[in-house]
Amino acid sequence: MKHNFGAGPCILPQEVFKQASAGVLNFNDTGLSILEISHRATEFIAVMDEAVSLVKELLNVPEGYSVLFLQGGASLQFAMVAMNLLGEGQTAAYLETGMWAKKALAEAKILGNVNVVATSKEANFNYIPKDYSIPADSAYFHVTSNNTIFGTQMQSFPQSPVAMVSDMSSDIFSREINVADFGLIYAGAQKNIGPAGATLVIVKDEILGKVYRQIPSMLNYKTHIEGESMYNTPPVFSVFVSMLNLRWLKAKGGVAQIQIENEAKAKALYTEIDRNPFFKGTTAVEDRSKMSVCFVMENPDHEKAFLKLAEEKGCVGIKGHRSVGGFRASLYNALPITSVHVLVDAMQEFEEKFKN
């Protein structure tokens, strides 16, 4: 059995895979595959409508917000956010907490002024800055809620005097949030939503239409709101599987229940990291991510041996990002706690084997 700790594309529930594969062969008894059905067909419009409805239900999205399924990943959102929200002569505020935040602010700089209100770059992004102020004249304030490469996570969000924008690609649907605190949330699907190909956007309608530049149709949120995520051909299969996955999450008890499970998984792994003399965490304890657990060996020479042992136990995808090394265990929603126990057992077995 494989225990998939990959950072993304990542693990999805087995029952979702089975339902999706059935849809590939014969979608809703149409005699057609979901891969070939028209996105204008009544059957697929129902899929899109249900996916949007489930997002609103599971996250308690307030009135006055639009939910979109777009393409291009979070990387396109880095530019779309600034293009739609950063007007001429304005400055956007950014919190720099890792590589993805760095890429987001780099795209914004192309379109306007950027103020980095705080950064943890000097410590290789091993903590989340906390003592900073958000200028009230900012066009918006951008944060990255979870940092997959460095293993930090915002455990709470500041009260922002301006629209707060968050990249939640790697922890959306993993814990309860108050959507009303944000002007815009975006997330690539390939962590907790569904397979790669779709990007979820939740945007407060009233923050749009306030810049005066001409925005290309495909990069304008209003275009996609008016087209109900179908201005052009949407990522049909990704939206379909996302809908199935959100059904699965609802059946489990929703975000509140999955948060309990995710906290238990993270606690089990961090407890072993802190107990085992062969391993150590890499981030400030108060900022430890419950989705992206990063750790290293006390003796780097042991890394290859532990990786080999973990792989023999069926643990895959735990090698750290190439820019930081060590190990990274992604604990996304569909990963069962039994898989975490297998990894913990491997860590304990390694300790017994090498302690003398």
Q: Which positions are annotated as active-site residues?
A: 100, 167, 191
Pairing of strands 184-188, 199-204: antiparallel
DSSP type of residue 350:
H
Among the listed residues 239, 243, 242, the one whose alpha carbon sits nearest the alpha carbon of residue 229: 239
Upstream peptide bond of 161 is cis (omega within 30 degrees of 0): no
Residue whose token pair is 């997002």: 55
Q: What angle do CA 7, 10, 13 make, to 5 degrees?
A: 145
Place of tokens 């707060």: 164
Beta pairing class for 292-297 and 141-144? unpaired
The residues pairing with 68 across neighbouring beta strands, listed in sequence order, are 201
Region of residue 320 (left: phi > 0; alpha: psi -120 to 50; beta: else): beta
First and final C-alpha spacing in the chain:
31
Give the total residue count for the chain: 356
The per-residue DSSP string of 44-82 comes to HHHHHHHHHHHHHHHHTPPTTEEEEEESSHHHHHHHHHH
Name every residue whose Cβ is closer than 8 Å to that of residue 231 and which is 6 or more positions away in sequence: 217, 218, 223, 224
Place of tokens 């009135």: 63
Burial of 148 (0-12, 13-18, 19+ CB in 10 A): buried
